[in-house]
């Protein structure tokens, strides 16, 4: 699930990403291996998790609630 969310955020279009992709165009046109890796759609991270090569731990950060009105320190 997390990888899908990352991919959605990373895949969101932007002007900067378009420029970066255009810089890769010459390599994509000249290298069959690069084309295969770039267009295969296989996520190395996803494969590692599916094969259970890596563990996945989720960190959760929570905001502390502000101090109560009657419990303020002086």
Residue 18 lies in domain? 2-62
Residue 27 has pLDDT above 70, yes or no: yes
How sure is the predictor about 73, in pLDDT bands with cuts at 50, 70 and 90?
Answer: low
Is 6 within a domain? yes
The CA-based dihedral angle spanning residues 33, 39, 41, 43, taken in that order and rounded to the nearest 10 degrees: 40
Residue 68 has pLDDT above 60, yes or no: no
Residue 26 has pLDDT above 90, yes or no: yes
Q: Is the dihedral of CA 64, 68, 69, 74 positive or negative?
A: negative
Is 38 within a domain? yes
Residue 70 has pLDDT above 60, yes or no: no
Whether the model clears a pTM of 0.85, i.e. scores above it, the answer is no
Is 67 within a domain? no
How sure is the predictor about 63, in pLDDT bands with cuts at 50, 70 and 90?
Answer: confident
């Amino acid at each position: 699930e997390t990888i899908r969310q990352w991919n959605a955020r990373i895949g969101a279009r932007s002007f900067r990403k378009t420029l970066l992709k255009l810089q890769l165009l010459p390599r994509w046109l000249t290298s069959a291996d690069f084309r295969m890796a770039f267009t295969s759609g296989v996520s190395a991270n996803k494969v590692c998790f599916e094969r259970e090569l890596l563990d996945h731990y989720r960190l959760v950060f929570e905001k502390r609630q502000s101090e109560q009105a009657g419990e303020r320190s002086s």
